[in-house]
Amino acid sequence: MALAYDGAIQRLIDAFNRLPGIGPKGAQRIAFYLLGADAQEAADLADAIAEVKAKVRFCDVCGNVCESSPCPICADPRRDHTVICVVEEPKDVMSIERTREYRGLYHVLGGAINPMANVGPSDLNIANLLERLKDDQVKEIILALDPNIEGEATTTYLSRLLSPLGVKVTRLASGLPVGSDLEYADEITLGRALAGRREA
Amino acid sequence: MALAYDGAIQRLIDAFNRLPGIGPKGAQRIAFYLLGADAQEAADLADAIAEVKAKVRFCDVCGNVCESSPCPICADPRRDHTVICVVEEPKDVMSIERTREYRGLYHVLGGAINPMANVGPSDLNIANLLERLKDDQVKEIILALDPNIEGEATTTYLSRLLSPLGVKVTRLASGLPVGSDLEYADEITLGRALAGRREA
């Protein structure tokens, strides 16, 4: 009995099923969608995959993904070159850009310190960060790592590493998310919000 | 401010975001996964997409997707050519094959009657089904459409169309799903299960 689809369809389903967040049913749905879609849309997707592997590289300065190094942010003279915001991943750069509250530069570590996954400081893009501080142009480093165990460990590590260098080291505020409910806040978040209280 | 990624990454995110069941966050996650994946895996996915558009066609007999017509099921002499199971979509063929309970042939309609979406009987692969009944080899037609409004309408339509032709027309049993809870069954399903009760 045929328990797999005929040739190419099954290979496409399998290929989508290997992607993160796509299960067997979702992969099947996408495969049949592409089968019914016009040839141009399918070709666009195939081309976009090939193109991203061929063109995308990492910025030699900040470690963000880009097509030319230095990346558009590092190369932009209108941005504030005295502040560097340190993040874990390229997608975190996009999250901060969306706030439209920040005009400085970035530094992408490529992860966080995680002993369970054998990721130590030497596996992160930290040497380049120290290199960027050498010309004394940078006045502030904002540590914007994920508020979880790995992010906290990395924040502590970087804070101790950078503070002696005479640069101001700050971190994002912890507290209640806007629009949330005090009643449902976990006690650690509420504790942080209390500790970080400011005049109203 | 850069609110989109640089070039190729954004195009890849957009291409994935257009697929069914993938939102902006999921598309971003997949794009960065592919960026970090080895070149072979990304190439395999791009090739699979191109291949499915180039190779896959519909079986001239049953309407199922295949790479050669007639499809492997229609061409298999070991299958029971006196029974045809009528389904809406190619993925329904796979669902029935997985039960390992059916050894007959299939007929894929390509949808169900749905006046709201302007799909009438003439938009479905029904003429070919009538053609297949002409040589009097087929003894039974099993209507295996989705148990929803469109499927019921199509079942009723096909049942009235096919019964006068002297072929036995059956439909899948409605009732309680195996492993479910009587308490949580909706009243229509429970009503069908009662009406279709059989000796224990």
Q: What is the pLDDT of residue A3?
A: 64
Count how many residues are written for chain B: 200
Sites in chain A below the pLDDT cut of 50: 1-2
Chain A nearest CA to B133, separation (Å): 24
Q: What is the pLDDT of residue B128?
A: 94
Band of residue B179 on the pLDDT scale cut at 50, 70, 90? confident
Point out the residue among A29, A52, A97 whose CB comes nearest to the CB of B21: A29
ipTM of this model? 0.77
| Residue position matching structure tokens 């209108």 | A78
Chain B residues lying within 8 Å of A5, measured CB to CB: 65, 90, 94
Q: What is the pLDDT of residue A1?
A: 39
Chain A nearest CA to B135, separation (Å): 25
Mean pLDDT of B88-101: 90
Q: What is the pLDDT of residue A195?
A: 83
Chain A residues lying within 8 Å of B71, measured CB to CB: 6
Q: What is the pLDDT of residue B1?
A: 39
Alpha carbon distance B75, B53 (integer Å) = 23
Q: Do A45 and B49 touch (CB under 8 A)?
A: yes
Model confidence over B36-71: pLDDT tens digits? 888 899 999 999 999 998 888 899 999 999 888 899
Point out the residue among B6, B65, B98 whose CB comes nearest to the CB of A6: B65
Point out the residue among A35, A47, A67 whose CB comes nearest to the CB of B65: A35
Q: What is the pLDDT of residue B3?
A: 64
Chain B nearest CA to A97, separation (Å): 6
**pLDDT surpassing 50 at residue B15:** yes
Phi, psi torsion values for A24, nearest 5 degrees? -60, -40
A98: CB partners within 8 A, 6+ apart? B3
Contact criterion met (CB below 8 Å) for A143 and A159: yes
Chain A nearest CA to B47, separation (Å): 7
Between helices A8-17 and A24-36, what is the axis angle to 10°? Answer: 130
Across the strands, what pairs with B108? B87
Q: Do A12 and B89 touch (CB under 8 A)?
A: no
Alpha carbon distance A13, A24 (integer Å) = 7
**pLDDT surpassing 90 at residue B180:** no
Contact criterion met (CB below 8 Å) for B49 and A34: yes
The residue in chain B having the minimum alpha-carbon distance to the alpha carbon of residue A5 is: B94
Chain B residues lying within 8 Å of A69, measured CB to CB: none
Contact criterion met (CB below 8 Å) for A73 and B4: no
Alpha carbon distance A93, A49 (integer Å) = 22
Chain A residues lying within 8 Å of B12, measured CB to CB: 48-49, 51-52
Alpha carbon distance B86, B112 (integer Å) = 11
Contact criterion met (CB below 8 Å) for A24 and A17: yes
| Residue position matching structure tokens 């809870």 | B181
Q: Do B34 and A52 touch (CB under 8 A)?
A: yes
Q: What is the pLDDT of residue A113?
A: 95
Q: Do A89 and B43 touch (CB under 8 A)?
A: no
Point out the residue among A44, A67, A98 whose CB comes nearest to the CB of B8: A67
Per DSSP, helices labelled H in chain A are: 8-17, 24-36, 39-55, 90-99, 127-132, 149-162, 187-195
